A and B are shown apart, each in its own frame.
Chain A
Amino acid sequence: MRLIQSYASRQTVLEAALGRMAFVFDNFEQIIVSVSGGKDSTVMAHLALLEAKRRGRKVGIHFLDEEVCYQSSVDQVDYLMNLFPDNTTRIWLQMEFRLTNATSVQDGQLVCWEAGKHKLWMRPKREDSIKFRMWAEEAQTVRDKRKGFGFYDVIENFERCYSGAAFLVGLRAAGESPNRWRAMVKNPVDVGERKVYWGTKKGANVALYPIYDWNFHDVWRYIHDEGLRYSKVYDWQFRKGYPINQMRVSSLIHERAFKSICDLPEFEPKTYNKLCKRIKGIAMAQETGKTAKMFACRKLPKNFRSWIAYRDFLLKTHPDQSRIRLFAERFSRHLNNEYVARQQCRQLILNDYENNLSVDNKPDPRDELIRYYEEVL
């Protein structure tokens, strides 16, 4: 037995998504769409809302607000929650949790919506949002005690408040990395009589990806045909010359997102000004985020002879003693070569003590190449 992608239905992705949506509404009482303000979740939410309207039912629109985000994303979520108010249950979460801040070695984490800091918050909380944890404190789970209560902990605890619900996610496999769809379909879930490959079991609930087979151009075609609003960030990125298939509205501060801060003053100057006041290291990331030397860590600074020397320097001069021990302990388990050292430098520069950008611990491929040519020549 082998799994393949079958195009036997001869349906367009839109026809298929409408069919999947009807299937979801036939099989689940409770349906919740997770939105981010991006284009994919905009399409996902709209498809679900239309089906809900057709059937005179309600869907939950769920947004986990991490405080530090584009104003355009906030506006987009607000728009989605007000498209079909009679068919919408608003689940806008604004509660305290921890986010990784890659831009600062001092403020390694941002506590978003931190109590007592309301004067510093990027914006005030909304009247209609959920501000307190909906679960009992003794039942609350935390993935990693050292990191504290984070983004995914909120999601997991939130989902555990439901049972038998369908969580719809605008995740897409098409056009992304070739193995992405394999990862998406490897844990199919049984719904009624049917084995559903575009979803997976999540505790007492089910996560479903009804637009998994859409390409980015399908998403844009749908947004155009339905006359939907979308985040202004996409138009700005287009004008700045981003390739259309690589445009995305990402978070502003995790390890891989510091690049989006580079363009922020040109996109949303007010958000940028507030962000500078809110967290340390933003101005530095804005100025150097795209150069090869700093955050990308691709080019060795000229005053160092090797990545190993640069790594030792960064480790020795790190401002936080407890982090030095943590990094040193982690690095002691790694091989000591230039290939690995460059990645360790990146972890140090991004203050990635959480090991989110893990190190590919293997012999330096360059050594092998040099040996090969030594033999050949």
Chain B
Amino acid sequence: MAVVHIDTMEQFMAARPSLVPVFINSKTHGRVLVPCANTILVRPSLIAANLYNPNSVSDDKMELLKQSILDNGFAFPVVAICDDDQQRFVVIDGFHRTTIGGPDWLDFDYVPVAVLDHDITKRMAATVQFNKARGVHQVDLDAEVIRALIEQGVSEDDISQRLGIDMETIHRYKQLTGVAELFKNSDYSLSWEMAEVDE
């Protein structure tokens, strides 16, 4: 299957009819659409941000995102709709991936985009769903991953860069012996009692 490159909106309009929807079947919910099977490569200049995205990504996490794209490739397409008024693709999910692909960061020639056909209500809901339906790392297991990497001989600097974790956190995670161990050399304080004194 040939990859579709989109340099102008007119090209997309022309190519649109040839994009055949792909479905998978759920035993419980029937047919489900797979937009990423029709991922197209789009010029970054044709992609616009939405105005309602409540998600914010801190600078250190942006660095991690960049590192992830360099290490793993652009594995998840940006999800967007085609806005006929703006004549642009408007991002539903992947605003920060788009930014990383833009001139301030990796300056890609194309960015992969999966196009949905959502009205504004569905779009806003979709943005929240994409942002929020994700897990958190259990502190214990996170620490296990770091320990395993150290045992595999990966340097702390490397772990810091690849996992986007600062050195302070790595040191805390390495402290596998636990909090009590930190106090083995501390001295006991001096005891005090209440005493009555005359003024």
Contacts and interface: CB of A to CB of B under 8 A. Distances in A.
A212 to B, nearest CB: 9
Interface string A222-238: 01110010100011101
Contacts of B181: 224
B192 A218 contact: no
Pick from B137, B142, B190 the residue with the most CB of A within 10 Å: B190
Nearest to B193: A6
A217 B180 CA distance: 9
Nearest to B176: A235
> Which one of A1, A198, A214, A239 has the highest number of Cβ atoms from chain B below 10 Å of its Cβ?
A239
Interface in B170-196: 172-173, 175, 178-184, 186-196
Contacts, number: 120
B180 A223 contact: yes
Nearest to B184: A224
Contacts of B175: 238-239
A2 B191 contact: no
Interface residues of B, number: 33
B183 A247 contact: no
Interface stretch (A10-18, A124-132, A309-317): A10-18
Nearest to B169: A241
Interface residues of A, number: 47
Contacts of B121: none
Interface stretch (A75-83, A104-112, A262-270): A262-270
Nearest to B180: A224
Given A236-B140, A241-B169, A218 B193 contact: no
A185 B192 CA distance: 12
A3 B191 CA distance: 16
A269 B195 contact: no
Given A220-B182, A224-B180, A13 B195 contact: no
A215 to B, nearest CB: 5
Given A174-B189, A239-B143, A265-B136, A185 B194 contact: yes
A16 B138 contact: no
Interface in B142-188: 142-143, 168-169, 172-173, 175, 178-184, 186-188
Most A-side CB within 10 Å, residue of B139, B140, B169, B194:
B194
A240 to B, nearest CB: 6
A86 B22 CA distance: 69
Interface string B85-106: 0000000000000000000000
Interface in A191-227: 197-198, 213-215, 217-218, 220-221, 223-225
Interface in A1-46: 1-17
Given A217-B183, A239-B173, A269 B194 contact: no
Interface in A28-82: none
Contact of A5 (B138, B168, B194): B194
Contacts of B180: 220, 223-224, 228, 230
B145 to A, nearest CB: 13
Nearest to A232: B140
Nearest to B146: A239
A3 B188 contact: no
A244 B194 contact: no
Given A7-B190, A11-B190, A234-B179, A221 B184 contact: yes
Given A238-B179, A240-B139, A241-B168, 15 more contacts: A5-B194, A8-B193, A9-B192, A11-B190, A16-B191, A185-B194, A217-B189, A220-B183, A221-B184, A228-B180, A235-B179, A236-B139, A239-B142, A244-B182, A266-B138
Which 4 residue pairs are nearest across A and B when measured between Cβ atoms? A16-B191, A6-B195, A197-B194, A12-B188
Interface of A: 1-17, 174, 185, 188, 197-198, 213-215, 217-218, 220-221, 223-225, 228, 230, 234-236, 238-241, 244, 247, 265-267, 269
